[in-house]
Each structure stands twice: as C-alpha cells, then as structure tokens.
C-alpha cells in the first residue's frame, strides 16, 4: 500500500478487490450500455446484486467520458459511480475521454458530498488502455481535483494485480515525491 496526502486528503494505492474496500462511493468500469460485463464491471455487478442492473436499465446509457450514479446494493458503500472510459485506439481523444471519466466521478462525489471514493484503473482491462499511459491521466486528474476545495477525505485506487499497482505506484512517486 502506498499513501500520500494532498491538501489534507489521503490518497491510497492498494492492490486488491475493489468490491471489498469500504468507501462511500465505488467506481465501476462500466460499458456504455450499463449492462454489466466482465472484469471489474462483472465483479461489481455480482457483488452488488440484481437491483443494480435494474437501476442501470432505468438509466439506459452512458457515453464514454461520463459517469452515472446508482445505489450500491450489497456493496460496502452508498453509491456506485458507473464510469465509461474509452476503448483505447491510439486516438488523440482517448486521453481526454479517460480524464473526463475520472473527473465525472469526482464531480458526482462533490454532488453527493461523498467523503471517500475508490477507483479501479479505468479502461486498462478489456478496453486495452496501456497502464503506463492511463496511470498518469488518472492520478493527475485526481491530484488536480484534490488541490481545490472538496468534500473528499480519502481517495483510493484499488488496483488489480501487481503490475497495475507497480505502474501506479511509480507514477505517483514521480508526481508526488516524498
């Protein structure tokens, strides 16, 4: 686990299962149809229970770069923020869409006055965004947000596997050296 403090907010990197981390909001790496799927999305939907898919069906759709909120079902949270990152295709707009997906979740955190949020590494699984390119976007977006007044007191990145953790840790150490 790696921890830094930004403007009195604790920023944590940890390897582990996002569905087991207690936070007010859990970010789901959703698809645009909000239909559940594999990876983080499937794990969150399975852990949250069937009520979440019903809420997602009611919302219907979420375009890349945006996020929507539902209840958290059986998860140890109040909300799930379903963020749709880009499918990586080396396009110039991929970085902007990824940044926007993270920022949309941070905006929802402020809207709902959330004090703690946990993120996965959006778009780095089935959507193919390289970890070495995604980590700086994710961390820079969060750090910039935390430098302004915020309801957040803790931001956690739950990273799947040692490689994801290591890439995020190395990136964070460059952005916020001790």
Rounded Cα–Cα distance for residues 90 and 47 (Å) = 33
**CA torsion through residues 120, 125, 127, 128, sign:** positive
Residue 59 three-state SS: helix
- Residue 94 is among the residues annotated as catalytic for this protein: no
Task: Decide if 92 contacts 8 (C-beta within 8 A).
Answer: no
Which of 41, 89, 96, 107 is catalytic? The answer is 41
Instruction: Write down the H helix ranges in the chain.
Output: 39-48, 50-59, 93-111, 131-146, 162-175
Task: Decide if 80 contacts 69 (C-beta within 8 A).
Answer: yes
- Quick one: three-class SS letters along 89-119? CCCCHHHHHHHHHHHHHHHHHHHCCCCEEEE
Would you please indicate which residues are annotated as catalytic (active-site) residues? 41
């Amino acid at each position: 686990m790696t921890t830094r403090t930004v403007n009195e907010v604790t920023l944590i990197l940890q390897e582990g299962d996002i569905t087991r981390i207690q936070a007010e909001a859990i970010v789901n790496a959703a698809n645009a149809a909000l239909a559940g799927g594999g990876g983080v999305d499937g794990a969150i939907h399975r852990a949250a229970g069937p009520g979440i898919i019903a809420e997602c069906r009611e919302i219907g759709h979420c375009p890349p770069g945006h996020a929507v909120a539902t209840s958290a079902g059986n998860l140890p949270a109040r909300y799930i923020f379903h963020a749709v990152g880009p499918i990586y295709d080396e396009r110039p707009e991929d970085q902007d869409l990824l940044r926007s997906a993270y920022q949309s979740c941070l905006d929802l955190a402020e809207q709902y006055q959330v004090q703690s949020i946990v993120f996965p590494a959006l778009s780095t699984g089935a959507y193919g965004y390289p970890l070495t390119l995604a980590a700086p976007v994710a961390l820079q977006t969060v750090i910039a947000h935390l430098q302004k007044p915020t309801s957040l007191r803790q931001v956690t990145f739950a990273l799947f596997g040692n490689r994801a953790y290591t890439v995020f840790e190395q990136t964070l150490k460059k952005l916020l050296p001790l």
